[in-house]
Amino acid sequence: MIEQQYDDGKLHYAFYSGCCFQGTDARFFDILNQVFDKVDVKLHLIPDAICCGAGVIEERSELTSLAINARNMVGAEKMGLPFYTPCSTCFNVISNVQKRLAEDTKLFDQVNEILAKDGVEYKGNGKLTHTLWMLAQDVGLEKLGQRVTNPLNGLRVASYYGCHTRNPGDIQNYESSDNPTSLEDILKVLGVQIIDYDSSDNCCGYHINWPNKDLSLKMTSSVLQGAQKQKVDLMVTSCPLCFKNLDGVQENALAATKQDFQLPVLFLPELVGLACGMSAEDMKLDYHSVPVQVRL
Amino acid sequence: MTEKITPKREKLLANIRIQRFTPTFDRSPYFDNFKVDVETGMTVLEVLRQIKNTQDSSLTFRAFCRSAICGSCTVRVNGNSVLACSTQLMPIIKDFGKGTVTIKPMANLPVIRDLVVDIDPIIEKLAKMHPYLMENRQRIPETLEQESLMSQEELEAFNSLTDCILCGACFSACSSVKADKNYAGPLTIAKAYRFSIDPRDNFRCVRIQASMDQGLWSCVQCRKCIKVCPKDIRPADAIRNMRRIAIDDGIHDTAGSRRAKAYTDDVEKFGQVNKPMLPVIVNGTKGWTAIEAAEAYLESKGIEPTRQVCTLPGQDSAAKIYAEVRKIETQDKEKKDCD
């Protein structure tokens, strides 16, 4: 695996966008590029990506999910770059596929027979990463700290990983899944004060938004309520789907559970951008459903 | 050589913080702290026994086999559901970097006393799943001397699920049970799936109904159950599989089945899920309200709404992969039907 074929001192990644960074959400792609430029990271879009299926395709055909996601990893293998996705669910699904195929040679061969019809071969030796570990380990906290020009001192922040970079533990070997610290490590470098709250390990309910809306709203509300009790200024999440849910569905979730408050939620790269001197306009914070009216 | 494989013996004084509660006596749960010399290799259960034997004989917990097979000693250690008998304390102390370890009873179940919970809610939910074989008459041998044999391949489809020891770690960790006490929980659906795909069984349709009655599509796939399962049976995967056989057997008219069908078919056609139209695809005509609300929101933010699916460039590859997978799955099915 060639991790660096560019000689420009930057870190280069094959970028798997998932569904959160295109269409009406395309602004997030611009935000990522702007923010990562500040820390000398360059993203190269995987040209022939397929939706990972979010684990839902496995409810119809596991083999389809294995094959399309092996195909997605081939995209990065062909570019000779580490596979990076900012979406926790994409990371979870694709990392699980990589693990399954590494453990089962019969399945590995079968998937490669399928991919041969598309004229490609899956090697399975690529590195997969997510924003958390790209920033905390590849870029490094020291370098990130050097790029912070607008430390967000005094801001009371609830950190929220979401489920899919934590569970199960064997989808990543970057840090402990029982006691992850990458998100807090990054946030500390940005200068914020991290506030403990008891719903930090609750699931936000995004993935049952369709099959069981009422339950999903209840779960979304429980995460927000726990943070609100600690009087935080805002919540920051490393998962774009959790962000879409906790921000975009917040009003409905709190109304359904008879709660009356607003808690601004930020997607981690947005807060990194702000700390690195970018403006609320650059980070397009006015696109949020819940107004971000805190001192930044 | 010996030095390499023998772990370094360490010892440190830890503060074990244990939740205490006797519902008939205490108003609410509280914590007691016990100082214990924790040595390399000591399990959570050994620490609990030591506290009971030397510091507080009233400390109440459940344990029996000490071999990770009876499934009775599940507790939460620093929030994670584990078997006390097969979990060592030293790595946890090191992982969390703190001298204090918090031990609580399993979540999502009523506490009887201290670390002992009432597991009847799990048993009641499990009982509704018919967790036993109902004979498939086609597989009953003609003579008493013969056994009902199955192929290695048939066994492999559910073999790992037979390792479940009903310890309840997954139930304790389950996000959906936490939010909805009526939801079946991971282990009960996993058990329903285990019997439903056993070739000697003939009760699959009844179990599909029982699973749906208890919230088959309420599982949020947070994957916590996979993480905590001490037997690695992967309950969340079994739930996906149960959904699959439900759809295969004709359960097409639920929001969950329609979502699964939409995701699978859309990725073949567009390389991507048809997100703008998903509300109508999943929820029928009442989904138009959600689409219109989403469009109004986008317009208020100056983003032009679209009902056009956003295709991904891999759609040609997706179509080829789907065609090949379909061929393989059809061949597998034909082979199975012949057998």
Q: Which of A223, A236, A224 is nearest to A292 (CA)?
A: A236
A13 Cβ contact partners less than 8 Å away, ≥ 6 residues apart: A41, A42, A43, A44, A81, A82, A83, A84, A129, A134
Q: Which residues pair with A84 in a beta bridge?
A: A15, A129
CB atoms within 10 A of CB B97: 9
Between CA B55 and CA B48 the distance in angstroms is: 10
Q: Which residues pair with A83 in a beta bridge?
A: A14, A128
Counting one residue from chain A and one from chain B, the pairs whose CB atoms sit within 8 A come to 195
Closest approach of B182 to chain A, Cα-based (Å): 11
B182 Cβ contact partners less than 8 Å away, ≥ 6 residues apart: B214, B215
Domain locations in chain A as residue ranges: 11-129, 149-287
Furthest C-alpha separation in chain B: 76
Between CA B315 and CA B319 the distance in angstroms is: 6
Q: Which residues pair with A235 in a beta bridge?
A: A158, A265
**At residue A1, does pLDDT exceed 50?**
no
Q: What is the mean pLDDT of chain A?
A: 94
Structural fold of domain A149-287: Rossmann fold (3.40.50)
pLDDT of amino acid A54: 95
Residues 136-175 of B with CB under 8 A from A: 175
Angstrom distances, CA of residue B235 to CA of A170, B163, B171, B180:
15, 11, 10, 18
Q: Determine, for residues B240 and A168 on separate chains, whether the beta-carbon distance falls below 8 Å.
A: no
Q: Determine, for residues B312 and A61 on separate chains, whether the beta-carbon distance falls below 8 Å.
A: no
Structural fold of domain A11-129: Glutathione S-transferase Yfyf (Class Pi); Chain A, domain 2 (1.20.1050)
Between CA B268 and CA A153 the distance in angstroms is: 48
Least confident of A183-192, A237-246, A279-288, B329-338: B329-338
Any idea which residue has 């370890």 for tokens?
A: B101
| A97 vs B98 pLDDT, higher one | A97
pLDDT of amino acid A46: 94
**At residue A2, does pLDDT exceed 50?**
no
Which residue stretches of chain B have pLDDT < 50?
1
Nearest by CB: B244 against A60, A166, A168 = A60
pLDDT of amino acid B2: 52
Give the nearest chain B residue to A209 (CA atoms). B220
pLDDT of amino acid B328: 94
Q: What is the ipTM of this complex?
A: 0.94
Q: What is the DSSP string of B170-212?
A: HHHH-HHHHH-TTS--HHHHHHHHHHHT-TTB--HHHHHHHHH
Nearest by CB: A57 against B226, B263, B320 = B263
Q: What is the DSSP string of A208-266?
A: GTTT-HHHHHHHHHHHHHHHHHTT-SEEEES-HHHHHHHHHTHHHHHHHTT------EE
User: Which CATH architecture describes the domain B120-142+155-248?
Assistant: Orthogonal Bundle (1.10)
Give the nearest chain A residue to B92 (CA atoms). A178
Furthest C-alpha separation in chain A: 56
At B100 the three-state DSSP class reads strand
Task: Return the half-sphere exposure (C-beta side, CA atoms, 13 A cut-off) of residue A120.
Answer: 26
At B193, list the tokens: 């799936």
Residues 24-83 of B with CB under 8 A from A: 78-80
User: Which CATH architecture describes the domain B8-116?
Assistant: Roll (3.10)
Domain locations in chain B as residue ranges: 8-116, 120-142+155-248, 267-338
| Segments of chain B assigned E as strands | 11-20, 30-39, 74-77, 80-83, 100-104, 111-113, 116-117
